[in-house]
Amino acid sequence: MKPKSKPNWTFKSKLGLPVVFIACSFFFFAGLFGSSLFFSQDISVATPRQRLLESVYDLMPFGDSGDDSITIIPFQVLSWRPRALYFPNFATAEQCESIINMAKPSLKPSTLALRKGETTESTQGIRTSSGMFISASEDDTGTLDIIEEKIARATMLPRINGEAFNVLHYEVGQRYNAHYDAFNPDEYGPQKSQRVASFLLYLSDVEEGGETMFPLENGIITDESYDFEKCIGLKVKPRQGDGLLFYSLLSNGTIDPTSMHGSCPVIVGDKWVATKWIRDQEDQD
């Protein structure tokens, strides 16, 4: 008869696997929480996000017109045909309200650049908003100067190539039918310069309607009988502080046919937007 073996009194057998697992988990999460708290304090207080990036990446030598820091401007590509990019939280609510307040006293019915043979009477109803033009140099608050500089960095197109801001207000039912921002010389005559890109800064939320729409996105519409009043295709909903950039010209300098766009009618609320048109040469207007 074999003698009974002595029991193996180990730490595991005394406490049991569940207790050991719980203890290990406790120390693991305690260490994880402590380290995350330490690093979060270090980043938020002593090391801002920009400095953190610069500590990870060696900054390159820069020229006389360059920067000694990294610029962070988040964006999302909405479309490649046309080239359209979305910039969330491009401006603060305070900046948006400041632009609205400076524009309100000078609003007038929006006008159109007329094609050959068109008249003001024949184009009524195409663009029904009100608006005004203001340059950064006319803004004593400095808000437009900050926005204009940020747009230049986002587009990599010089500030001097930009037209004055066109601040627009759309009330219920108002819209802008589909159109191009670039000017076809065959329709508008010879051009000293051409609009390369447009940057729309949404100054207010719109409860319903008011989207910026691209009906020819990716060439989905080829029918020449397209109704310019229709609000179809890729739609971008206005949200205060967000930006929308799209390019009117292709890389070869010709007009991108898919850059046709418009503003859907406002259904509920009202819409405020500041538009910056950027040309291929210094703006002389």
Estimate the crossing angle of helix 143-155 against helix 93-103, to 10 degrees. 120
Name which of 179, 139, 75 is nearest 274 in CA terms: 139
pLDDT, tens digit (0-9, with 9 covering 90-100), for 151-174:
999 999 999 999 999 999 999 999
Is residue 51 pLDDT above 80, yes or no?
A: no
The domain locations on the chain are 17-57, 76-279
pLDDT tens digits for range 89-112? 999 999 999 999 999 999 998 876
Domain 76-279: CATH superfamily is: q2cbj1_9rhob like domain (2.60.120.620)
- pTM over cut 0.85: no
- Confidence (pLDDT) at 149: 97
- The pLDDT assigned to 222 comes to 56
The pairing of beta strand 76-80 with beta strand 83-87: antiparallel
